[in-house]
Amino acid sequence: MSACCSGRMLAAAAPAPCRRQQRSGAAAAAAAADVVAASRPRNPLLQAGSRRQRQCSSRRSVGTRVLALDAAFPFDREAQLRRQHSQQSRLKIGIVGFGTFGQFLARRMVQAGHEVIATSRSPYHDVAAAMGVKYFTDADDFCEEHPEVVILASSILSLESVLARLPVQRLKRSTLFVDVLSVKEFPKRLLLRELPPEVDILCTHPMFGPDSGKGAWTGLNMQYEQVRIAADPERQRRADAFLQFFEREGCNMVEMSCEEHDQLAASTQFITHTVGRMLGAMQLQATPIDTKGFQSLLSLVDNTANDSFDLYYGLFMYNQNATEQLDRLEKAFDEVKARLLQQLHDKVRQQIFYGDSNQPEPRLMLTDGSSGANGSSSSSSEAGGAAAAQPLASSAAAPPSAGAAAAAVEPAGSGNGHKPFKNFLTMSSTDSP
């Protein structure tokens, strides 16, 4: 706060005679109300500058020293409380596993005012330094820094070995361990089994990553389970402070058991990644006529393709519910495909047996892509036993011969220059009546 608006200075200056102070009590009260109202901004940090200006100028022009004193007091107090609170919630956080996600978290935590240190398998000194993180290749050195919170952000597949190599005995006994793995039951069991009973355990899953959370985190889901936090108020405060970081970023905090998380995540997150990877393998491309739906598919590919395959494999291997969901996905695809093909079979059979004057006249396509002239009567295929074109609609009474080994159906008029549905529908001798 600038000296000209310091409450203490103004209090000392207040008794000095001032011509403006001789105004009527009512006018002074009204002016006081104005200044006090103006001193209650919704966001004190954003408006502090303009308010300070307002107070200084009003003090000069209308002699409102007393009023400025009134206004300054709540401001001072607010700032004091804010400072006190941020000091209390400032944490020393150590990140183990400084890959994509570890860095993503670290960046935001530094921005939020936390002290962040990190260690990982690979040397990340430069990346870490650039974001204000102190980096240690040596895990002993890292632990001897005594971070209050240790975040485990290594791959799901490597967590067990990473934890086994971490010299936990060099940490403070009250350390809070937090995991951010995308599966939850596995780390919960592992941490309960491997960590000494003195340390606290908080299992979390921020349901977003560097792609989906590259902007604001407002409304993004953050699952957590306080697996083991000692009753000590200081430890409770620390766990709260850690969760508050996500809360302040705007996350939707969801307290949920790790087991329930895995059940739900298998049918949501794992399926999302699986479909994203399948579509990615198809190498879909944007076109000038994309629909909104297709654009969503492309962004799904974007959101999942950048994650490591280790992460995806971890979602499958370390979630007991994933196999069942994969089976369901496969079954659903088969059902949809069967329904499509079944309609096609029904239509062809309709034409074979009864003809259908409402439908475009189909014709047989040879599997080599050539076709018989539409509507023209073909030469007999039975004689030579070779596949031959034959108009189906006009041949209801004379269905294709058993010798027409492999044929595909294409609506009339689509033959020229258009790729035939080659081998799409294969008619074997068993299809013949």
Which positions touch ligand NAP (CB under 6 A)? 97-102, 120-122, 153-156, 158, 161-162, 180-182, 206, 209, 307-308, 310-311, 314
Contacts 24+ apart (CB under 8 A), 51-54: 51/75, 52/1, 52/2, 52/5
All residues at 6 or more sequence positions from 428 whose CB lies less than 8 Å from its CB, including other chains: 405, 406
- CB 119 → ligand NAP: shortest distance, Å? 9
149-152 vs 134-136, strand pairing mode: unpaired
Neighbours of 78 (CB within 10 A): 16
**CA 75, CA 372: separation in Å to the nearest integer?**
89
Cβ atoms of 381 and 403 closer than 8 Å: yes
Cβ atoms of 188 and 223 closer than 8 Å: no
Q: Which is nearer to ligand NAP, 66 or 118 (CB)?
A: 118
Q: What is the dihedral of CA 264, 267, 268, 272, to 10 degrees?
A: 150
Q: Which is nearer to ligand NAP, 100 or 374 (CB)?
A: 100
**CA 33, CA 319: separation in Å to the nearest integer?**
62
Helix axes 44-62, 65-89, angle to 10 degrees: 160
Q: Which is nearer to ligand NAP, 21 or 158 (CB)?
A: 158
Cβ atoms of 201 and 228 closer than 8 Å: yes
Q: Is 357 helix (H, G, I), strand (E, B) or coil?
A: coil
- CB 289 → ligand NAP: shortest distance, Å? 31
Q: Which is nearer to ligand NAP, 88 or 161 (CB)?
A: 161
- CB 292 → ligand NAP: shortest distance, Å? 24
- CB 285 → ligand NAP: shortest distance, Å? 24
- CB 211 → ligand NAP: shortest distance, Å? 7
Q: Which is nearer to ligand NAP, 120 or 381 (CB)?
A: 120
Q: Which is nearer to ligand NAP, 31 or 106 (CB)?
A: 106
DSSP letters spanning 297-324 = HHHHHHHHHTS-HHHHHHHHHT-TTHHH
Minimal CB distance residue for ligand NAP: 209
Structure tokens at 254: 């969801």
- CB 244 → ligand NAP: shortest distance, Å? 19
How far is the CA of 382 from the CAs of 151, 209, 232, 329, 405, in angstroms?
75, 64, 90, 44, 11
Q: Which is nearer to ligand NAP, 311 or 322 (CB)?
A: 311
Structure tokens at 9: 């200075």
- CB 363 → ligand NAP: shortest distance, Å? 52
Q: Which is nearer to ligand NAP, 69 or 95 (CB)?
A: 95
Q: Which is nearer to ligand NAP, 276 or 314 (CB)?
A: 314
- CB 226 → ligand NAP: shortest distance, Å? 18
Q: Which is nearer to ligand NAP, 211 or 290 (CB)?
A: 211
- CB 245 → ligand NAP: shortest distance, Å? 15
- CB 215 → ligand NAP: shortest distance, Å? 14
Burial class for 287, CB neighbours closer than 10 Å (0-12, 13-18, 19+):
exposed
Q: Is 215 helix (H, G, I), strand (E, B) or coil?
A: coil
